[in-house]
Amino acid sequence: MIMSPIEMEAATRLDPSARSSGTAQPVSDWRQPRWSEIPRCFSVRQVALADACTVGERRTIRPADVVLAEVLRLGQHRRLQLASGRYRALEVGDLFLAAAGCRYAVDQFEGRGEIRAGEPCALLAGGGVVGVLEARHTAMNPPTDVRIHGVVEDAAGRRLTLARYAKSATGERPHRVIAVVGSGMNAGKTSAAAALVRGLQRSGLRVGAIKATGTGSFGDLQAYEDAGANWVGDFGLTGMASTYRQPVDRLVASLEVLLALAGEAGCEAAVVELADGLLQPETEALLNDPRIRRSLDGLLYAACDPLSALGGLELLDRSGWRAIAVTGLVTRAPLAVRELQAVHRIDVWSREELSDPALANRLLVPMDLAENDH
């Protein structure tokens, strides 16, 4: 059998002869562990430990299955994000509860959440998403290797999945919903979203903040909370560890539930962040879906530099969207802003400007932001 470079790398890392003497040995009591003593990752924060009974060996583990993982060898991720909202340092031999899931991170890892028996597995994200590595950025260390002991099951032998604990809601969405999209990872989307939350909250509104797509992590939600959001939520509440490779219908339904939950919490406005960039498959599909157009009242575009700003604005225009303004890392360089505005008349707003309640209130005035289906 011919292996890909990634598979060869994983096999080498997992070869016992290549491991250090600190590599973990199999634990003897993993089938019926003391659940309260095992760290629970952020990705499985919704799971009720009272339902956990045994660990069952499955030929195939599916995305959103709750699994018992053991650290074999430390790599890029040396800390876990726990359900409690804090970090925990990892050591070889540690057990933890995580979720199988895909990962799409241009600057880090790509991986799949469907795991076949015997496949080498990795911690794809610090929020507790495990899967099979498919690609990694050359600046990243190899991932932390894990052994999946099996899927957590209830007393009846049914696998625990995140979907089992998904929330539902039928309330009205907030009156005003503004999305933040970007040119890619690390373009400044979360900082812009948090700044807008702060500005809307300072204007006297109850504000919800939603991470609609991405991979389970508490960092963005904590940024929204720090900015003063009255309610925060992400796709984990609707039963997903990651939105990569999920059908667009499910992603639309998830956002509708999250907006309804924000509405039920009394939020009058909501800020929605879409992960990664405009070329990411799910982001592209969502922005071209008429249902999303009806759910959003406007869109801010975060970019790293003038050229990525221009390219993204052109892509949005092709999809029928007219961005309200450009924001993100490009706003940190006055010269970059001048370059952009020399060739495009669009507004450019920094984090400080988005935090201004006067500017935030301008976004509450109805305007024609999308050319089609709006």
> Does the pLDDT at position 294 exceed 80?
yes
> Does the pLDDT at position 245 exceed 70?
yes
In this prediction, residue 17 carries a pLDDT of 39
Tokens linked to 244: 């990569």
pTM beyond cutoff 0.95: no
Residue with the larger pLDDT of the pair 345 and 370: 345
> Which contacts qualify for 31-34: CB closer than 8 Å, 24 or more apart?
31/55, 31/149, 31/150, 33/68, 33/95
Instruction: Average the pLDDT over 270-285 and give the result.
Output: 97
Mean pLDDT of all residues in the chain?
Answer: 90
Residue with the larger pLDDT of the pair 195 and 22: 195
The answer to whether residues 100 and 69 touch, using CB atoms and an 8 Å cutoff, is no
Chain segment 221-233, per-residue pLDDT in tens: 999 999 999 999 9
In this prediction, residue 32 carries a pLDDT of 65
In this prediction, residue 30 carries a pLDDT of 58
> Does the pLDDT at position 1 exceed 50?
no
Instruction: Indicate the range of 54-68, 73-87, 252-266 predicted with least confidence.
Output: 54-68
In this prediction, residue 170 carries a pLDDT of 87
The answer to whether residues 278 and 326 touch, using CB atoms and an 8 Å cutoff, is no
Instruction: Indicate the range of 2-6, 98-102, 129-133, 255-259 predicted with least confidence.
Output: 2-6
Instruction: Average the pLDDT over 118-131 and give the result.
Output: 96
The per-type count for the chain, helices as H runs and strands as E runs, is 10, 19
Instruction: Indicate the range of 146-155, 162-171, 316-325, 358-367 predicted with least confidence.
Output: 358-367
In this prediction, residue 85 carries a pLDDT of 96
What's the pLDDT band for 28 if we cut at 50, 70, 90? Answer: very low
DSSP state of 78: -
Chain segment 30-49, per-residue pLDDT in tens: 566 789 899 999 999 999 99
Instruction: Average the pLDDT over 108-131 and give the result.
Output: 96
In this prediction, residue 370 carries a pLDDT of 41
In this prediction, residue 135 carries a pLDDT of 98
> Which contacts qualify for 130-133: CB closer than 8 Å, 24 or more apart?
130/67, 130/69, 130/98, 130/99, 130/100, 130/101, 131/63, 131/100, 131/101, 131/102, 131/103, 133/6, 133/10, 133/109
The residue ranges of every structural domain in the chain are 7-161, 176-362
The CB density around residue 66, as the number of other CB atoms within 10 Å, is 29
What's the pLDDT band for 244 if we cut at 50, 70, 90? Answer: very high
> Does the pLDDT at position 12 exceed 70?
no
User: Exposed (0-12), middle (13-18) or buried (19+): which is 120, by Cβ within 10 Å?
Assistant: buried
Task: Select from 3.80.30.20, 3.40.50.300, 3.40.50.880, 3.40.50.720 the CATH code of 176-362.
Answer: 3.40.50.300
What's the pLDDT band for 29 if we cut at 50, 70, 90? Answer: low
